[in-house]
Structure 1
Amino acid sequence: MLEALWSVEFKSSFGMQGNGVVVFETGRVFGGDSAMIYVGSFKVENGVIHAEINVKKYADVQGMSSVVGLDNFNMKVTGTPAQNEMVLSGHVVEDPARKITIKAVRRAELP
Structure 2
Amino acid sequence: MLRQVLILGAAPGDTSLAHVARLFALHRRTLNRRLKAHGTSFKILIEEARYDVARQLLRDTSLPIADIAASLDYADASAFTRAFKRWSGVSPGAWRASLPLR
Q: Aligning the two structures, in what range does the TM-score lie when normalised by the shorter sequence?
A: under 0.3
Which structure shows the bigger proportion of residues in strand conformation?
1
Higher helix fraction (1 or 2) = 2
Please, what TM-score do these two structures have when normalized by structure 1? 0.25
* TM-score, normalising length: structure 2: 0.26
From the CA coordinates, give the structure whose radius of gyration is larger. 2
